């Protein structure tokens, strides 16, 4: 009988603590019902059993997957011939300057055309060396709701999310990197003779494509292609889940 007052006191103390927490949360502007409902709905829609993974673990796991994927993709792309010898991401002669290419090859400048295309790819390979930190900064923005939706999405859902959310800021951040790479491998040295030869043809519209913008666009496209490859490996191949967190998160989605 003596334990009853102690039990009541414990219940009362717990109630006071709970009220204090809720009051503090409300004062801070939190909507606890919305947070709980949002997390529960996200987990349910993703097919994740309640209690099997925390919201934080799901998001951390997906961020880790994208971090590893973007790092590995950048390493693959930044190798010599990482772009140039990969037909899936190789950067071709600028489409808007195809007439220039045809005219140059017609007057015996095929070698110069090939060298120019090679330097475009060399610029992308050089720029890719500095891509990983830019991607990592962007990956930090993923939310809980994003995470659960991605987890049960397509094999490239995380990559598609990253591409959708970050293409504009990444383009802005990546362009000066590409510009430095273009200067380093001397792309314009190979472009100028071709363009000069073409622009001397009577009555043609002179061309001068924005090579910085072109290589930036193609370099990012190539990197996202490789990141999607890495994501697909992690989703489909358990041996590619190189950390315990990846095994737990992607194992729960199997």
Per-residue pLDDT tens over the stretch 197-218? 898 888 888 888 899 999 999 9
Indicate if the pLDDT at residue 69 is higher than 70: yes
Is 64 within a domain? yes
Is 45 within a domain? no
How many structural domains comprise the chain?
A: 1
Is 125 within a domain? yes
Tell me the residue range of the domain where 69 lies: 50-252
Is 159 within a domain? yes
pLDDT confidence band for 254 (50 / 70 / 90)? low
pLDDT tens by residue, 179-194: 999 999 999 999 999 9
Is 17 within a domain? no
DSSP-assigned letters across all residues of 203-223: TPPP----HHHHHHHHHHHHH
The structure's pTM equals 0.75
Is 103 within a domain? yes
Distance CA 178, CA 38 (A): 41
Indicate if the pLDDT at residue 165 is higher than 90: no
For helices 144-151 and 157-185, the axis angle rounded to 10 degrees is 100
Distance CA 156, CA 240 (A): 15
pLDDT tens by residue, 97-147: 999 999 999 999 999 999 999 999 999 999 999 888 888 888 888 888 888
Is 37 within a domain? no
Task: Compute the radius of gyration of the chain from its Cα atoms.
Answer: 27
pLDDT top residue among 27 and 185:
185
Short-list 163, 81, 162, 68, CA closest to 124: 81
Distance CA 39, CA 55 (A): 7
Is 18 within a domain? no
Under 8 Å CB-to-CB from 162, ≥6 apart: which residues? Answer: 66, 70, 135, 138, 139, 224, 227
């Amino acid at each position: 009988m003596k334990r009853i007052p102690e039990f009541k006191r414990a219940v009362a103390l717990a109630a006071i603590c709970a009220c204090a927490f809720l009051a503090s949360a409300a004062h801070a502007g939190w909507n606890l019902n919305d947070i709980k409902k949002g997390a529960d709905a996200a987990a349910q829609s993703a097919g994740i059993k309640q209690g099997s993974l925390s919201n934080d673990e799901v998001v951390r796991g997906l961020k880790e997957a994208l971090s590893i994927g973007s790092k590995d993709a950048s390493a693959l792309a930044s190798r010599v011939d990482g772009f140039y010898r990969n037909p899936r991401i190789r950067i071709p002669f600028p489409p808007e300057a195809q007439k220039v290419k045809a005219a140059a090859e017609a007057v015996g400048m095929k070698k110069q055309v090939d060298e120019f295309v090679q330097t475009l790819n060399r610029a992308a390979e050089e720029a890719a060396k500095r891509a990983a930190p830019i991607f990592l900064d962007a990956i930090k923005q993923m939310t809980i709701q994003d995470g659960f939706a991605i987890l049960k999405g397509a094999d490239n859902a995380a990559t598609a999310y990253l591409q959708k959310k970050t293409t504009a800021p990444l383009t802005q951040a990546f362009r000066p990197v590409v510009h430095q790479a273009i200067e380093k491998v001397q792309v314009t040295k190979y472009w100028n003779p071709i363009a000069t030869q073409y622009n001397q043809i009577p009555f043609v519209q002179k061309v001068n494509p924005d090579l910085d913008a072109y290589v930036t666009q193609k370099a990012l496209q190539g990197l996202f292609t490789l990141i999607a490859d890495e994501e697909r490996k992690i989703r489909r191949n358990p041996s590619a889940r190189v950390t315990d967190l990846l095994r737990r998160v992607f194992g729960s989605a199997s």
